[in-house]
Amino acid sequence: MFAWLRSPRRRKHSTVRYEDGRTKAGYFALQDPYGSALDEFDDAFDLQPDAPRRKRRFWHRKPKLTSGIEQPRFGEHWREPETRWYQPSHYRGRRKRWWLVRLIAALLAIFIAIVAWLAITAPLGKSLEPIAPPQITLLASDGTPIARSGASVDAPVVASELPDHVIGAFLAIEDRRFYSHWGVDPRGIARAAWTGVGGGSTITQQLAKFTFLTPEQTLSRKAREALIAFWLETWLTKDEILSRYLSNAYFGDNQYGLRAASLHYFYRQPENLKPEQAAMLAGLLKAPSRLAPTRNYDLAEERMRLVIGAMAEEGYLTDARARNLPSPGLDVRNRNRLPTGTYFADWALPIARKGAEASYAKQTITTTLDAKLQGVASQAVASAPLGSAQVALVAMRPSGEVVAMIGGKDYANSPFNRATQAKRQPGSTFKLFVYLAALEAGMRPTDQVDNTPIEAGSYRPKNAGENYTDNLTLEQAFASSSNVSAVRLFNQLGSERVIETARNLGVTSPLPEGDPSLALGTSTMSLLELTSAYAAVAANAYPVEPHAFPQEEEGWIDWLFDGQSHLSGRVQNDMERLLRAAINDGTGKAAMLAGPNFGKTGTTQDYRDAVFVGYAGDLVVGVWVGNDDNSSLNGVTGGGLPARIWRNFM
């Protein structure tokens, strides 16, 4: 037999041959550091050393293993080394067990890492918040309801206060072992896969799923769902989980929660539901939109019979009563019906939702809308001879409070809001920024500007009707809406200064630099954006941010550091002189009122857009008329139909 021994006095290995009379090699000498691999209960070994550990270098051999063995020879003398013997198979078994321990430890570490990642990415804090978005009712400034939007959510239910047949209907079809599992039920998953009755997800998992509000079906989502389910089971009692589930589940027809659904479909409180009514509501959870009885009563009834059968199997109903339960009749009533959307509401609601509190309570929020002015705006638009053209109107206070909004002729036929969503060319109403930049540069309304045709350069605009003179004052050029004069001023001032003026007044839409056609309003922006810029001139404070909800009055510190700037008294007076001349002596005569009013007309190329924006008193109003397909209005100008609508409204 061959063995390798390490000399205690040398680093190199010395080869020693032993003979023990055996026919198979199977024993090797083992140095003391490897002695830990031996089993002290192994009858082939004696693990008790003769000397302290620091002095001994080899284990003592068993007498029955040493018979007939020649002793090793080191150098020129013989030495009796303290040797120890073991079988290779014994050591290999120990090594396999050591790797098994390592593998288990690695898998445990991976599992802990996955759980930690899921805990970080899963919205555990959100799990205890209300799930459905709150129903918001918007009120006009005088308290008149104008629109209601959001899920129909009523007061939450308490599971312990519901009849047994109501609880049983949901447990029988959704989660029969609800009171036995810890959030995830493997038996329920197997039963659902085998029978096709009920769902694989427990009620706790479904409640966890509500928090994600995404339709994705991925392994990571299912893992987070299970983690949240365990978390809910830890922090909530079973009745609390069931109460939250029933208070937030979707039942179709925009009804969230058992109370809202029972009132909507049967006009009764959930505590008073009959067994057949409870069974129908429980059956809706599988596919609420498709099974809603107001749309597909036959499908809802078929599903109800399946629920009743499950209730009988679980003992919530006797077989005789289950067979005799009738189909429930619907009792759908219109309760406080309000429009779910208007042009103003569609613009205001996203802002309202950001500030809405997370709760089950219905919320009412007062807006800046003036119900009377909104009615006047609707009448002014309805009486206008628009034909097939569309219209938009925005009315606001100089501070930016929007008091009326029309986004089209008919919201029911076209909810697209042309006052806030449409980006159209403002035409000559953009000249406000050109002339305001000129006044800020030191020019006065009486200064002269060339009004002759432009013959040089690649861009050669023409005046309307090709009316030209040698010179015009700034006041005359603005009132007559001279195109050549505006372009010359634009080139003289530079596009950077004009664009800076527009930005100061709150214009955020893209404005191309170095393009002289910008002076004539070839860039696009919304009517709301344009009207806000005119409001800045009226208020002599810029920028003006349009808002749908009342803002708190600013203290003197906020007033000092609010970031608003002001025109100089001279510049504002001169600008209002130009705006007044445009109505009294220029293209906006159709908008003239008995008192002082200010405004500007705008007409784009080929009569695609007609605009009038002006203000009088504490109202700033913008009106746009055009076609959605950007086709011609056949001669309609900003000083025509839009100016008359503006006057009728004012």
Q: Per-residue pLDDT tens for 604-620? A: 999 999 999 999 999 99
- Tell me the pLDDT band of 130, cut-offs 50, 70 and 90: low
Give the residue, 222 or 239, on which the prediction is more confident.
Answer: 239
The fold for domain 159-324 equals Penicillin binding protein transpeptidase fold (1.10.3810)
**How many CA atoms lie less than 13 Å away from 591 in the CB half-sphere?**
35
Closest CA to 520 of 460, 591, 590: 460
Measured between alpha carbons, how far is 300 from 119 in angstroms, rounded to an integer? 38
Q: Per-residue pLDDT tens for 550-580? A: 987 665 665 566 667 889 999 999 999 999 9
- pLDDT on residue 627: 96
Measured between alpha carbons, how far is 595 from 614 in angstroms, rounded to an integer? 13
Query: Domains of the chain: which residue ranges?
Result: 2-86, 134-150+340-367, 159-324, 395-649
- pLDDT on residue 89: 54
- Interval 531-548 mean pLDDT: 94
For the entire predicted model, the pTM comes to: 0.68
One fold for 159-324 and 395-649: no
The average confidence (pLDDT) of the chain is 82
- pLDDT on residue 599: 97
With 70 as the cut, is the pLDDT of residue 211 above it?
Answer: no
Q: Please report, for residues 432, 449, 497, the alpha-carbon distance to residue 502 in angstroms, rounded to integers and kept in the order given.
A: 9, 21, 9
With 90 as the cut, is the pLDDT of residue 634 above it?
Answer: yes
Q: Per-residue pLDDT tens for 32-81? A: 444 444 444 444 444 444 444 444 444 444 444 444 444 444 444 444 44
- Tell me the pLDDT band of 322, cut-offs 50, 70 and 90: very high
Q: Per-residue pLDDT tens for 503-526? A: 999 999 999 999 999 999 999 999
With 50 as the cut, is the pLDDT of residue 244 above it?
Answer: yes
Q: Per-residue pLDDT tens for 441-489? A: 999 999 999 999 999 888 999 998 888 998 999 999 999 999 999 999 9
Give the residue, 9 or 540, on which the prediction is more confident.
Answer: 540
Q: Peptide bond preceding 510: is omega within 30 degrees of 0, i.e. cis? A: no
Q: For the chain, what percent of residues have pLDDT higher than 90? A: 55
Q: Write out the two tokens for 581.
A: 């001349």
Range 395-649 has CATH code 3.90.120.10: no
Q: Write out the two tokens for 379.
A: 């009448």
Q: Please report, for residues 475, 542, 554, the alpha-carbon distance to residue 557 in angstroms, rounded to integers and kept in the order given.
A: 39, 18, 8
